[in-house]
Amino acid sequence: MHDVAIVMGSISDLKIMQNTIDVLNELGVSFETKVISAHRMPHEMLDFANHAHENYQVIIAGAGGAAHLPGMIASSTTLPVIGVPVPSKYLKGMDSLLSIVQMPAGVPVATVSIGEAGAKNAAILATKICALNNPTYQNNLSAYVQAMHDKSVESGKDLG
Ligand code: RP5
* Residue 37 near ligand 1, beta carbon < 6 Å: yes
pLDDT at 86: 98
Helix ranges (H only) for the chain are 14-26, 42-51, 69-74, 94-101, 116-131, 135-155
Q: What is the pLDDT of residues 47-81, one digit of tens each?
A: 999 999 999 999 999 999 999 999 999 999 999 99
CATH topology of domain 4-159: Rossmann fold (3.40.50)
Strand partners, 8: 35, 62
Please return the burial class of 103, using the count of CB atoms within 10 Å of its CB with bins 0-12, 13-18 and 19+.
middle
pLDDT at 160: 79
Give pTM, 2 decimals. Answer: 0.97
CB under 8 Å to 30, separation ≥6 — which residues? 2, 3, 4
Q: Give the ipTM of the model, two decimals please.
A: 0.97
CA of 53 to the centre of ligand 1 (A): 25
pLDDT at 43: 98
Q: Is the pLDDT of residue 94 over 90?
A: yes
Q: Can you give the residue ranges of every domain in the chain?
A: 4-159
- The residue nearest atom 13 of ligand 1, judged by CA position, is 10
